[in-house]
Structures are given as C-alpha cells and as structure tokens.
Structure 1
C-alpha cells in the first residue's frame, strides 16, 4: 500500500524533487509503522512541502497527528486538504475522526452529513451518523438516519442496531420488530435472537424470553450470557429440570461459581433431590463462607429429615454471619417449636421482631408457641395483636378460630370461620367447620350440606369432612346416606367422634348390636367420654 501511495505522490512532484519526496515519505511511513509518530510527522511535513498537491500525504499526516492525540493539527491538515482537493468519503471520514477525537460530535455530524449529500449509497456514512446522533443523545435521529437507507443496504447488522436503539429508548416492542427483521434475514444471527429474548424479558414475558434464549444457545459462546439468564428464568417458571441441565454446563466451565452452584442446589431441592441439594449447598458454603442463603436451605433440608440439631447448627452459623437476616430467626423458631424448646422459640421470635420482622407473622408464631405450652390466654393475646395489625390475616384468623374450638367455644369459632370464608371462599377447613356447627345445632341444614360439599370438592378424601356430611344427613333423617358416609369416613380416620356418630345412625336404623359395637370402640379411643358411657348404659338397659 505504501508503494502505491509513493507512486501517486511522485507523479505530482517535480522531477528534481522525486528522490527527496520518496525518501521522506518512505522514512515517515516506516517510523509510523514503528509507532514513532512524532518523528513520522516531521518527515510527512517535509514531504508535504515538496508535494503539496498529493492528497495521500494529507491523509497520512493527519493520521499521524491523531495517533499523538493532536487532533487540532490533524483537523487543520484535513480542512486544508478539503480546500485543495475534490471532497470524497475518505477525506470527510478522516476529518470527522478528528472531531470525534476532540468529542466535538456536532461538527463530526456536519461532516458526515456533507458526505451523505455527496454519496447516499455508503453504509459507513449512515452507520457513523447513527452512532454520533446517539452520542449527542438524539436516539430518534439515530434511528431515522438508518431508516432512510436504501433497502438494498439494510442488513442484519443495521436491523440489530435499529433494535438496540429501540431498546435504549425503552421501546421493547419496537426492538422486537427490528430484531425479527434481522432474524428473518439470518436465522442463525445470535445477536438478533438474544435481542428478541432480552426484549421479551424486559416486557416480563418470560415464556417467550426463554424460547429465544434457548435458541441463542445454538452458539456455544453465548452460554455464559444467555445461559445465566435462562437459569434465573427457569427458577421463576419452576422449570427445574431445565435449570439443572444448564447450570451443570455452566459449572463445567467454572466449578467455583458459587452463585450458579447455589441455583443448582435450589433446583435439586425443589424437585425433591434433597441429598444432592444438601451436597451442593455445602459446596457453595465452602466456596462462599459469607453465604447465608445456602446455610438457610441446608437447615430446611435437615429439619425435613428430622435432624433438628444439624438444622439448628446451620441456622446458628448463618446468624453469626448476618444477624439481620430476619428469616433465619423465624426459621430458628420453627426448629425450636418442632423440638418443643419453647424458650428458644420465644427468644428467636423476639430477635426477629428486634430486626424488623413482619409482626403479623411473628405474633402468629408467638401465639402458636404459647398455645403449645397450653398458655391459652397468652395465645389469644398474641393472635389478637396480629389481627389488630391485619384483620384479614388468615393464619391468625384460623389460629384464633381453632383456639376457640379447642376451648369448646364453638359459636365464637364459627363466627371467625365464617369471616375466613368471606376472605377465602376456598378454605376447606372453614367451610367444613361452619357446616358442621350448623349440623350440630340442626339448623340451616341445606346450607350446611352446601358448605361441606364445597369443602369436599377441595379435599374429597378427607375423613373428617365426610363425617361432617354424614352428620348433616343424620340430622336430615337420611340415615342410609349418613351410614354410607360414616362407614367411608371411619376407613380413612379411625376416630372416636366418627364411631359415635355411626353408633347414633345405627340406633335410628334399629340396629342396636352395631350401635353398641361402635360405641364401645369409640369408648376405647376416648375412655373419658361420659356421653359415650351414657349411650352404652342406655343400650344395656
């Protein structure tokens, strides 16, 4: 290339100056290639004195000035060249580079606009203008300049650039449109594919985002970027088998990626592979000693396996690392309650409250702890505090209702269960309880049957629900239906109340032998029942 430039140069120099011009330009060229720009400039300037009408020397001299960050002198050289020679893209482009070097983007834009007026078929001009418009924060112009390009110049690269600008303008729909056009031109263009995926991701359309991220994985180089985001999306969509497959590939490349290993462990946990999950959580804890999340889930696995001491050890280690992690205190309370260590449970809940935990949840757990200690007034007080903060909180409402039921205060319990049904029409326990109380009082039996049937629709194999319906049939006088339901219920739940109900049904059906048999079995299960004893005594008389 240097030889061609020299030949052009020599044709414009007087014959007597050929030797000097050739020598100076050649030396300047070699110095520039060696990175000695200041010295190159000196020889280029001597060549320019001998060959002022050679455009190539202006280009070389300006380029050397740019290399030394002396953009002002380089720009001056190119403006002189544009006055001396017919303007063309190479001259305009070299001048614009100088202005860009000085961050005078507006001046560079004007130069390229002149170049575009001269040549409207050059992709470089459109692309350069688009980049510069974005640099001066005019993204609409950056798009518009590309959109006026002739169709023959619109390539996948242009469409992906249009899409990227749309994305930066917070127009994901527009971005998808342009990425799709790029994809239509080249279905293997991974930039377009990941662009579509990212746009769907921004639009919170995870299913479509996953589809295109998966397509992007046809190019293995995108495993890190697309693969990592896929792992997060798979977790959101509960697609744990796919998450595991990608996470294993990523860990093959980087064994020490603690974040990815934790994701893998969580996926194993969610699909019930607790041993694998526990192993990965332990590896993650070693890779990242400050990782409280992995210790938290290791504790959950240990608790599910009944290993309370191991669970407590993991939680205590995590608390040492980050005592402000509220869920650790709450979960330590769960472990303590399961161990019947109510003092530790109370201490843990106090700490959760101290660090700003959800007091509605904390009052519920405090109430449950008090109830297990048979301190029913304290339990009532805690549940009431939780409901004062949130009157519609279902855990506190259900706990309060069950507390009333435990204390044989059925009317208060029924009122709260009725409130629960208003809030949650699919609460099977509440539906059954209210229906059963109507049956006990022999009131609103049609409504009672409707409520209990709704409960059974939600949980058709619940023996206590079936017993409730049998008891409604008993109160309605439909003894055969009652008997059939109660026989089914006792197969599921061998319970004293169900046996007593069945005995009552057999009395109505004049089968005293079976009635006595069921009362006696009921008394064996609940020997303190005076009511069952009286029924047996009546049959004996």
Structure 2
C-alpha cells in the first residue's frame, strides 16, 4: 500500500549535448568535423560510426570532456560495458572538479550496477556544490539499500534544507523505519500529514508502525482515518476488516466487510470473511449463504468443505453430502475429503456408501486413526459388532490414549452385557485419561449396573448427571433406582430424561410402568418436590426484562435488568421518566426500598407485594407451603392442582414447572412459556395480578443467566 517515488531513481539522466570546448588547434579542422559526424551517426543509430568519430576527436584533443560522456553512452548502447566503463573512468580523471560530469557519472554508474562508484561521484558533486539537492537526493536513495544509516543522514540534511517538502519527509520516514527508529519515523510521517493532509500513505505507514509495536488500537485509528480519505479503497477495507477480526472485534470487522460488500457485491473474499464472522456467532444459515456465494465463483475444496459443515449444523444433510461429493470429485485422492464424505453418508444412514468412502480414505492414508474409529461406530450401528470390535481395536492400537475409542468399545460391551471385565479395563483407562468426562462416568455406572453392583452404580450415575445433561444418562439412573426398588426417585429420573428427549417411546413406556407403582398422593408430592428441586438449584439469576404495568386504565412500560441471589436478595432497575431516569427496587433480605426515595411512599407497598410473589417463587418458599399432609389436590391429565386454605397452586407434572400461584382474590402469579436454561426450567414471562388494587404487571425475561457469581455490593443501598 505504500508508494516510494524516490526508490526508483530516474537513471536516464538528462545529458546535455553541446559542442565541446576544443583547443584552438583542435577546433580548426578535423576534430570539429569528427565530433559533428559522431553526433549525426549517434542520432541515426549508427553507433559504431559514432564511436569511431568520437575516438578520433579524443586523439586530436584528449581534454575534450564532453566527448568522453558521449563515448561512454555509445559504448554502453553497443553492448560493450568494459569499454564504456573505461571511458567513464577517463572522464572522471579529467573532470574531477566538474559538477555536471560527476552528476553524469553517478547516474551512469548506477545504471551499470556500480553503486559504490555512483555514490562516490555524487559525493564529489556534493563537495563541489554543498547546496546540490539533486546529488543529496540521489545519495539518500542510493544508500537506502545497503546503508540505511547513511540514507537517514542524507534525508535529514534534505528536509533541513527543504522543510516544506512532504516527499522529503516521507522518504526520511521510510529510511528511519527501515533503520528501526520507529518513533522518529512516526514523527516524520506525522509531518507529512501536516504538510499534505490528504496523504493516505502517511496514515497507513503510521498504522503499520503501531502494528509493529503491538499497539493495535492506535493502528486501527490510523487505518480508519485512511478510510475517511478513501472510503472506496477495497484493499484497505479488506485489510482493516481482517485486522479487526484478528483483534476479535467481530462487530467492527463485520461493519467493515459489509461496507466492502456494498462497493463490490460479487467479491468472493468479502463473502468469505462475512461467512467466517457468521460462523463465529454460530449463525449457520447466514454463514452458508455467504459461502454459497463464494462457491458460485470458485470451486475451492476448503470452501466446499466448510459449506458442508454449515449444512450439517443446519441438519441439511443432503446438501452437506452434495458439497462433499463435489470435493471428492475435485480431489478424488484426498483422504480427508473421502473421510468427510463417509461421515456425511453415515449421518444419512447410507451405511454402505459410508463404508465405501471410509475404505477409500484408508487406501489413500493407511494410518488414519479417525477413520478406524468411525468404521467401528458404523459397524456397531449397522449391527455388525464383530467388525466394529476389529476397527475399534485398530484405532486404539494406533493411539492407545484415544479415550473416546476406549470408552466407546467399553460401553458397547457393557450395553450388550458381554466381556464385562474387558469393558471394565477399557472404561477405566478412558477415565484415567479424562477423569471428569460425564459420558465416561456414565459408562462406568452402566457397567456396574450390568455387574449387579447397584449402589456403586447409582453413585457413579448421580455423578454423571451432575456433569452432563443427557437423556440416556438420566434413563440409566432411573433403571438403577428401579433395580434398588426406589420407584419414586426412578420416576424423577425418567421424567428428567423425558424432558430432554420428549419423543422417546422407551421412556414413555417406563414412565407408564412406574406410574402404576406410585400411589396418587405420592405422585402429587413427587411433582411438587420436582418443582422445588428445579428452583432450589438456582443460586443466582440475571436477566434483561420488559416490565409492563396497568393500574385501572393507565399503563406504563419500561426496560430494565433483574438480579436475584438466593434466598431473598433482588434488585430490579428500570429506565424511568425524565424526572426519575432510573428507578431501582431493592430488597436485601428483609429490607425493601425504592430509589429515588421520593417515590418510596407512593409505590413501595404495592411494588413489594408484586415482586415478593416473584422472589418467593424463585426461592421456592411458596411451594413449601403446599408440602403438607393437610393439603388437598386433584389431577387433571398432566396438571396437578394443590389447595392449602385460601392458597392454590397449579403444577405441570410432565415438566415439573409451576404454572400458577394464587392467594384468594388478593394475588395471582402466573408463570408462562417455560424454557430450559442450563438444564433447569425457567419461565420467560411472569404475570402478577392484584385484583383488589386493579393492578396487572407483566415481566418478560430475556438473556437469562443463572448461577454466576455476583459482586458483593450488588444489593447494597443505592447512593443518591
């Protein structure tokens, strides 16, 4: 991006052709005529004739300096460099104090590749004429390659003499940067900008210096200034967008690349970057769209492979397969491509095609651990378990520390209730390599179940469900509890598994079987306990909220944030009116306040009643009111109704979620649109009604984060 107008010196120096000052004897007669004939011959391209005439002039008058210049060039043009250099040396010896000849010699020697001689000639010219800026510039440019310190000194002299020369300061800055004097270079580039504010090259050069120093924020600022001067510069836009990406400022990177896309919508590089940015935020549909644009312009293996990945994440396995088929078509001998095509066929349950692809990959790359492992998985699913064992063992032989392969084979043995001692060895080897892996712990628990060691099995499976929320693991835990005759807890485990896999027929059968073994009263109490268990796992909660309130016919709406820490601390901060731009509701244990304090007397009692309902739901205290033998209940399908005096509650037994809590006609709190968050059910909408006060409050929760550590002062009193 940087242009250097002085690096390539114009070595075609202007040689002034003028008649030489012959001696009085030479002027008379043949010398004069020979020189004229030489000039005419040279101009008509008859160089050999010109040389002959110039040589004759020198014979007649050895001091005719200008003739040596013409002779030097004529020999060079004839392709006789040695004679040309001899003529130049002669010229130097007879005209050491002639500035024009020394300047000529500098240009000639540079053209001939004699850098040292060129520098010597210009230095002589500079001694003869200290104000000769042309000689100074030539010396600076000539020194840049092999003596940057000297170049800096020459350019320093030049800008001292010509302080208004932006080009001089630019070359001075380049020389300083090359010498590693970055601060001095930055100052010189800044001087260029002060003299020539439109100099994009200077801004870019300063940015590059900041990059060398690791000052990337400052570098970006300079690049942005360059873009202000030239907003259509695609090269610059691409570089700055890439720099933002490397700095992980993905929003700024995307903004730059979108600008570039407006300039050139068909630029494949821009689409590729935008696709990568979409991939980073896991927006697979957008990533696929951009990479589709790239693939239309070029059939690139890497692009097609990545596009196939996006399609697979979108569960569009047919398109993923088509991409990988194109990859193999482009590179049939690419082992990795054949392997990936095998995975795609496996996902589509095209086991025979997958087998063919995997085998081709092994032909191309016999030592391919991943292929052996996936062949094992393929044969296991294809009900060809003896072959699966063969390939699992090959994968393990290639890498005895392949914990996933060790566990997979061990679990497969345990699940088939065969080779249990070998399964034990394999699973424990996997756990030695990855002790906290929930799937591996589940395998151990299931192996212990197969061995009839139910108490040990339950312990391991309980540890597994704490590490991984997977329906199979919860189902295993339910099976073990059934073996221990712990039907009520088995019921809980099966329901949790069904939450994670609602379509599982086997789970539904097990749940129906357990339902018959559990008394109705116990069922209702278990549903209550399940709801409590869901909520007491929430130690803290943070969320963005929209709060809408209606009192009589008046209504208000505001955005804000809600923070809660178990058991009784919460803070709701809302964007208020112009007079009160921020309203904070704060409860720290038993102390409740509203800020600004001027509002406290007006809204404190009502707001506390509203938000106590939400707080008492989160800490599960309202549920505990119904955990009593005197509580009556009824069942309607999957819905359980509980009644305790003037209070009632509704629980969905399928998910274990509270749907409504009511206190006579004074308070009704409804919990709607439950979603899973970190394996726990939470409502995304809460509605509070105070019928006697004609108040309705709706709270919508977004971006909910649970169980993160909060600052100690989160629930401290608000300072005025």
- TM-score (normalised: structure 1): 0.73
Contact 1:182 1:189 survives alignment (8 Å): no
Does 2:322 match 1:169?
no
Residue of structure 1 aligned with 2:336, choices 293, 299, 321 = 293
Does 2:346 match 1:282?
no
Residue of structure 1 aligned with 2:150, choices 107, 117, 126 = 107
Residues 185-210 of structure 1, C-alpha deviation per residue, up to 9 Å, x if partnerless? 22223343223222222223344334
Question: Following the alignment from structure 2 to structure 1, what is the Cα–Cα distance between the partners of residues 475 and 521?
Answer: 16
Residue of structure 1 aligned with 2:399, choices 341, 356, 379 = 356
Question: Following the alignment from structure 2 to structure 1, what is the Cα–Cα distance between the partners of residues 639 and 76?
Answer: 100
Q: Greater strand percent: which structure?
A: 2
Residue of structure 2 aligned with 1:413, choices 434, 457, 482 = 457
Question: Following the alignment from structure 1 to structure 2, what is the Cα–Cα distance between the partners of residues 15 and 214?
Answer: 76
Query: Following superposition of structure 1 onto structure 2, how do residues 346-425 of structure 1 map, counting pairs within 5 Å?
Result: 346-356=389-399, 358-375=401-418, 377=420, 378-405=422-449, 410-424=454-468
Distance of aligned partners of 1:323 and 1:209 in 2 relative to their CA distance in 1, 3 Å threshold? farther
Please say which of residues 469-478 and 125-134 is displaced more in the overlay: 469-478
- How many residues align? The count is 483
Query: What is the aligned partner in structure 2 of residue 76 from structure 1?
Result: 120
Please say which of residues 104-113 and 118-127 is displaced more in the overlay: 118-127
Query: What is the aligned partner in structure 2 of residue 179 from structure 1?
Result: 223
Query: What is the aligned partner in structure 2 of residue 201 from structure 1?
Result: 245
Residue of structure 2 aligned with 1:188, choices 222, 232, 237 = 232
Please say which of residues 346-355 and 246-255 is displaced more in the overlay: 246-255
Contact 1:298 1:314 survives alignment (8 Å): yes
Contact 1:59 1:91 survives alignment (8 Å): yes
Residues 136-166 of structure 1, C-alpha deviation per residue, up to 9 Å, x if partnerless? 3444443343234452334221111121222
Residue of structure 2 aligned with 1:329, choices 342, 359, 372 = 372
Contact 1:53 1:84 survives alignment (8 Å): yes
Secondary structure at the counterpart of residue 638 of structure 2: helix
Contact 1:193 1:216 survives alignment (8 Å): yes
Residue of structure 1 aligned with 2:360, choices 301, 307, 317 = 317
Query: What is the aligned partner in structure 2 of residue 502 from structure 1?
Result: none
Gap runs ≥5 in structure 1? 488-541
Query: What is the aligned partner in structure 2 of residue 485 from structure 1?
Result: 638
Question: Following the alignment from structure 1 to structure 2, what is the Cα–Cα distance between the partners of residues 343 and 440?
Answer: 30
Question: Following the alignment from structure 1 to structure 2, what is the Cα–Cα distance between the partners of residues 422 and 274?
Answer: 32
Determine which structure has more spread, i.e. the larger CA radius of gyration.
2
Question: Following the alignment from structure 2 to structure 1, what is the Cα–Cα distance between the partners of residues 521 and 177?
Answer: 80
Distance of aligned partners of 1:5 and 1:300 in 2 relative to their CA distance in 1, 3 Å threshold? closer
Query: What is the aligned partner in structure 2 of residue 306 from structure 1?
Result: 349
Contact 1:179 1:195 survives alignment (8 Å): no
With a CA cutoff of 8 Å and minimum separation of 6, indicate the structure with the bigger relative contact order: 2
Alpha-carbon shift at residue 77 of structure 1 (Å)? 0.5
Contact 1:121 1:150 survives alignment (8 Å): no
Does 2:627 match 1:474?
no
Alpha-carbon shift at residue 120 of structure 1 (Å)? 2.6
Does 2:278 match 1:125?
no
Contact 1:109 1:129 survives alignment (8 Å): yes
Contact 1:473 1:481 survives alignment (8 Å): no
Residues 295-318 of structure 1, C-alpha deviation per residue, up to 9 Å, x if partnerless? 112111222222212111111111
Question: Following the alignment from structure 1 to structure 2, what is the Cα–Cα distance between the partners of residues 280 and 412?
Answer: 48
Distance of aligned partners of 1:3 and 1:136 in 2 relative to their CA distance in 1, 3 Å threshold? closer
Query: Following superposition of structure 1 onto structure 2, how do residues 519-534 of structure 1 map, counting pairs within 5 Å?
Result: none
Contact 1:436 1:472 survives alignment (8 Å): no
Question: Following the alignment from structure 1 to structure 2, what is the Cα–Cα distance between the partners of residues 244 and 33?
Answer: 61
Question: Following the alignment from structure 1 to structure 2, what is the Cα–Cα distance between the partners of residues 279 and 455?
Answer: 35
Please say which of residues 465-474 and 236-245 is displaced more in the overlay: 465-474
Question: Following the alignment from structure 1 to structure 2, what is the Cα–Cα distance between the partners of residues 373 and 238?
Answer: 37
Question: Following the alignment from structure 1 to structure 2, what is the Cα–Cα distance between the partners of residues 29 and 245?
Answer: 63
Please say which of residues 81-90 and 42-51 is displaced more in the overlay: 42-51
Please say which of residues 75-84 and 398-407 is displaced more in the overlay: 398-407
Distance of aligned partners of 1:192 and 1:416 in 2 relative to their CA distance in 1, 3 Å threshold? same
Query: What is the aligned partner in structure 1 of residue 593 from structure 2?
Result: none
Question: Following the alignment from structure 1 to structure 2, what is the Cα–Cα distance between the partners of residues 306 and 438?
Answer: 34
Contact 2:284 2:310 survives alignment (8 Å): yes
Gap runs ≥5 in structure 2? 1-9, 36-63, 526-632, 641-720
Question: Following the alignment from structure 1 to structure 2, what is the Cα–Cα distance between the partners of residues 42 and 208?
Answer: 63
